[in-house]
Amino acid sequence: MNIPGIHSSIPASINSLSKTPQKDTLKEVGKTFDSMLQNLSETQQTSDDLMTRLAAGEDVDIHQVMIAADQTDISFKIAIGIRDKLVDAYKEISRMSV
């Protein structure tokens, strides 16, 4: 049985951010979030496809369906957590006096 691994692109991207100038850092942060959202979209699509095939009565391993659903859930929770941290950071910066 083939079980896909957890993608480790986030730590590599974060490590590279500390070595770049500020303007490039903003672009890299944007690329990192874009990559994460693309990965979330792909994970969601895979999970939806497996659930649709299972509901249609096709021969699909129930374990793969559940693993895909859990991966999507975890990815979504991570994305929501990052969004919340970004909103908190924005609010904190907007409260700073110049």
C-alpha distance from residue 27 to each of 10, 32, 39, 54, 61 (Å): 15, 9, 18, 41, 41
Q: Is residue 90 in some structural domain?
A: yes
- Which one, of 53, 62, 72, lies nearest residue 6 by Cα? 72
Domain range for 75 is: 62-98
Give the pLDDT confidence of 84-94 residue by residue, as tens digits.
Answer: 998 999 999 89
| Residue 13 placed within a domain | no
89 lies in some domain: yes
CA pair distance 56, 40, nearest whole angstrom = 24
Degrees to nearest 5, angle at CA 28 with 27 and 33: 100
| Structural domains of the chain, count | 1
11 burial type by CB count under 10 A (0-12 exposed, 13-18 middle, 19+ buried): exposed
Q: Is residue 38 part of a domain?
A: no
Instruction: Between 36 and 26, name the one with better pLDDT.
Output: 36
Looking at the domain assignment, is residue 67 inside a domain?
Answer: yes
- 24 within domain boundaries: no
Q: What is the pLDDT of residue 91?
A: 93
Q: In this predicted structure, what is the pLDDT of residue 81?
A: 93
Is 37 among the domain residues? no
